[in-house]
Structure 1
């Protein structure tokens, strides 16, 4: 599994409630994206940084999302360019499903 961390500095701090409204408005964009298993939206405690943690089936699936068009969308929505960091996740502990998964 691939995990990506995206982040971007906001031009002005936002509240949790503002972030929730913004994130709910963009959430449908990510429904049904091939290879995307889950996305967690993030907001720093001071409201100055936002982003997301994405869980992917493969790096190719992740790279298919993070195009120039996606970067332009984020920049247009939040006023700042995003950074994207890729991580390999060889082991996952899932306490909801009560299992540990190991990738090949």
Structure 2
């Protein structure tokens, strides 16, 4: 499994409410994406950051998703260009409610 951190760093233009709206609006678009196991939209107001964390079944699926065109689209949506970092997932715990 591969994890991907997509981090948006803001200055004075940080708008927490706007980021909540983006997350709520975009959430459904990721349901059923092939190879995507999970995605979390996160906010850190004290650091003026939004980080989206993805868990992918394979590195190929993750790298196929994160194209330059996608980065350009999310840059337009979030208003800043994100940093994208791929990491290996050594172990994953999922506590799913029935």
Q: State the TM-score bracket (shorter-chain normalisation).
A: 0.7 to 0.9
CA displacement at 1:47 relative to structure 2: 6.4
Alignment-derived partner of residue 10 in structure 1: 10
So what's the TM-score if we normalise by structure 2?
Answer: 0.84
CA displacement at 1:29 relative to structure 2: 2.5
CA displacement at 1:76 relative to structure 2: 0.5
State the secondary structure of the residue aligned to 2:24. Answer: helix
So what's the TM-score if we normalise by structure 1?
Answer: 0.79
CA RMSD of aligned residues (A): 1.7
1:46 aligns with 2:46: yes
1:85 aligns with 2:85: yes
- Runs of 4+, deviation exceeding 3 Å: none
Q: Which has the higher contact order (CA 8 A, sep 6+)?
A: 2
Alignment-derived partner of residue 100 in structure 1: none
Q: Is the 1:35–1:61 Cα contact (8 Å) retained in structure 2? A: yes
* 1:53–1:20 CA distance, 2 compared to 1 (3 A): same
**Structure 2 residues not aligned, in runs of 5+:** none
